[in-house]
Structure 1
């Protein structure tokens, strides 16, 4: 018997196997080519940024540094999107409250909105007063070369960190770049060493504070909701309180970080705004939580559903505040070069042209779309296992830590806080699991107790990622400074 094409029935299995092989080859080819598409589109974006700078500033010998700075700024913005944004969306994706595509879409919209709506009209040209402009003897030309070197070196270092899978502070990369260029241009005396000391202290303060607060919130949730007999009744009491706390923290966080460029907000005003928001959202969430929890089974899986929406909202708010705050890392030195190139000389603060802000906002979004999934997966899945409750603790810790640090006048890194929160949740779970195991060990025969090797294998935080990330944090400033010094010397030779 044969079909309409004249092929015997026995030939169909062979044809199916051949078609399956071709399909697998095609899928493998698409997977291999996908990173190249992102690289190609990124190069197009960098070229378009340089072209926009040429059109808007006029092509000429004096505009060449502005065109180059626009390309470097676009490259830096791409790397910020690829690395930094993972800290906001990673926990939500790891907890499966958001899909990867949903997280990227929300983050791209919120990052762009934060950069354009609250990114500010004025930024400091010397990042965090790292170097003294008066020490640059070469005048505006030396200053321009220093800013170009700082941008390029910071972008290269963040790119390398993304490639090895290490979330690093882009702010620290820019600081290291400015410091390295200042040392290359004017020597060690040009650096504000007390400021550098406070930044070095933040390497320890940020992750430890974020981890401790995240662990404390998780301990509260376990004690008041998870480890009680009637979990649903406890959740109806405490989840609205936690939602109100989240609303209060994020309202104050956005007032301090996201709106500081639009209006002056004191700590007292920010806390008042946060308190009002917490009361309103906490009261509104009471009937919503009761309705959502109706009919739920008395187990932990049910509790996870109650934390998903607050987690998604917190991730979106973190992205908005990040776009408002960290866009200056990409466009601050670029704005300084534009100001100097237009005859304004060296200034402590400069206005950011709209086209410069657009380059920063679009670059962060494109970097997130093209290269963000790698770091989102790292933060969300590969450090420790997250669920909506644990990821909620990380997000809330980020907001509370920034507020506490601002009140105390401590310099902190949002990247270090968020990743430190993930580590804090993981290490607390290890400690809590070991504690509960010790409590039940007395009831077990000695033969059934776990060997030390088996306990080590069951660790809840992957030590390899922990050591890689810590090492990347420690070397970010010196590595960016060394790269910046090399870039500055190369630019002076070419120029």
Structure 2
């Protein structure tokens, strides 16, 4: 019975992960107006699923790390109550964050759940040294690196674009205003006329690129590259997140890792298709406005960092890296929404203790 509960808990975590995380890979596609929401989420679902399947061959180290190996004694890892508590604690945390539209990290939630359950189970014998070295440092450093790299990459790509003679079209807005002249003593209107004046645009202008790259329209080339780069990020996310959840299923001896990966991939895809809109809009539209070229830069940095981390077994958060990359772009354009950034940072700070609390409560109840 407990093994069935563990499998269901892992599926619940996968569903919540897909709802909160799937759209992050394609956030720049929707945010820049390159594609509609439904096209973006369909592309994210497909490429995330492919990344999840690829994890069977490329991400064995992450599976072992998130089983709790090295953090707690091996006999505790073999206890299904331990793994179930971690899965449920993390799942509840991510699910609640999704409902309020906050893009938090499933990785961070899992780490918090590992800590809460581990401390509840063995107290001071929990390996805090490995926790800091193998988990916390990559989680803290990765968004800072992402922000810096996207900042530098955008400067380089912008200068390269200008040297190629590719210009960018934007827009200004004109509006008609009625001017009324009044007699000063009686305040009676004596004349009125209409004028045209510049104003702040009330709607977002679609920016485009002029010029050609190796014989191809610059606008078409940038949009195509943007679409591909978003797929790379979603692939990297599936590659990075799937083994973290599958690590909790290792104790079900009857379930091979590859089938666990496929089960996680399917429920992750379903979660993204059904419940990603609120988080998707917040991360796409409310951190900073951007165009296709800026979106490509952000995606390339995110995809590079997350894929590299996955292959080397480093538990970075796609959420942290993606938001850090987007914020790096906003730092250059000076259009970042600092209020939204503060809310996201606060949700990140709360993720670990909230997940630790939920998982500790679940472990206590099941025990």
TM range (shorter): 0.7 to 0.9
Aligned partner of 1:161 in structure 2 is 97
Greater share of strand residues, 1 or 2?
A: 2
Aligned partner of 1:60 in structure 2 is none
Q: Does 2:166 match 1:231?
A: yes
CA change 1:203–1:357 in 2 (3 A) is closer
Aligned to 1:150, the other structure's residue is in SS state helix
CA change 1:393–1:172 in 2 (3 A) is same
Conserved? CA contact 1:119–1:327, under 8 Å: no
Aligned to 1:317, the other structure's residue is in SS state helix
What is the Cα deviation at residue 86 of structure 1?
2.2
Aligned partner of 1:477 in structure 2 is 352
CA change 1:126–1:419 in 2 (3 A) is closer
Conserved? CA contact 1:112–1:361, under 8 Å: yes
What is the Cα deviation at residue 373 of structure 1?
1.9
What is the Cα deviation at residue 396 of structure 1?
1.1
Conserved? CA contact 1:394–1:425, under 8 Å: yes
What is the Cα deviation at residue 394 of structure 1?
0.5
Aligned partner of 1:206 in structure 2 is 142
User: Could you tell me which of 246, 250, 267 is aligned with 1:336?
Assistant: 250
User: Could you tell me which of 324, 334, 340 is aligned with 2:239?
Assistant: 324
Query: How do 1:168-179 and structure 2 match up within 5 A?
Result: 168-179=104-115
What is the Cα deviation at residue 146 of structure 1?
0.9
What is the Cα deviation at residue 97 of structure 1?
2.0
What is the Cα deviation at residue 407 of structure 1?
10
1:155-186: CA deviations, max 9, x gaps? Answer: 01111221222212211211211221111111
1:205-258: CA deviations, max 9, x gaps? Answer: 1111111111112112333325x694269xxxxxxxxxxxxxxxxxxxxxxxxx
Aligned partner of 1:382 in structure 2 is 286
User: Could you tell me which of 347, 360, 363 is aligned with 2:264?
Assistant: 360
Unaligned runs of 5+ in 2: 169-211
What is the Cα deviation at residue 372 of structure 1?
1.3
Aligned partner of 1:69 in structure 2 is 6
Q: Does 2:35 match 1:111?
A: no
Aligned to 1:384, the other structure's residue is in SS state coil
Conserved? CA contact 1:65–1:337, under 8 Å: no
Bigger radius of gyration among the two: 1
Root-mean-square deviation (CA, aligned residues, Å) is: 2.8
2:270 and 2:75 mapped to 1: Cα distance? 37
What's the TM-score once normalised by structure 2's chain length? 0.79
2:319 and 2:303 mapped to 1: Cα distance? 12
What is the Cα deviation at residue 406 of structure 1?
8.0
Aligned partner of 2:184 in structure 1 is none
Conserved? CA contact 2:236–2:306, under 8 Å: no
CA change 1:125–1:422 in 2 (3 A) is closer
Conserved? CA contact 1:304–1:389, under 8 Å: no
Aligned partner of 2:296 in structure 1 is 392
Which 10-residue stretch deviates more, 193-202 or 149-158? 193-202
1:330 and 1:200 mapped to 2: Cα distance? 18
Aligned partner of 2:180 in structure 1 is none
1:197 and 1:466 mapped to 2: Cα distance? 27
CA change 1:410–1:319 in 2 (3 A) is closer
Conserved? CA contact 1:203–1:473, under 8 Å: no
What is the Cα deviation at residue 198 of structure 1?
5.0
Q: Which has the higher contact order (CA 8 A, sep 6+)?
A: 2
How many pairs does the alignment contain? 321
Conserved? CA contact 1:77–1:330, under 8 Å: yes
Aligned partner of 1:290 in structure 2 is 214
2:328 and 2:247 mapped to 1: Cα distance? 33
Conserved? CA contact 1:93–1:99, under 8 Å: yes
Conserved? CA contact 2:55–2:261, under 8 Å: no
CA change 1:213–1:168 in 2 (3 A) is same
Unaligned runs of 5+ in 1: 1-63, 234-287, 294-302, 343-349, 431-459
Aligned partner of 1:491 in structure 2 is 366
1:381 and 1:469 mapped to 2: Cα distance? 14
What is the Cα deviation at residue 135 of structure 1?
6.7
What is the Cα deviation at residue 304 of structure 1?
4.5
Aligned partner of 2:82 in structure 1 is 146
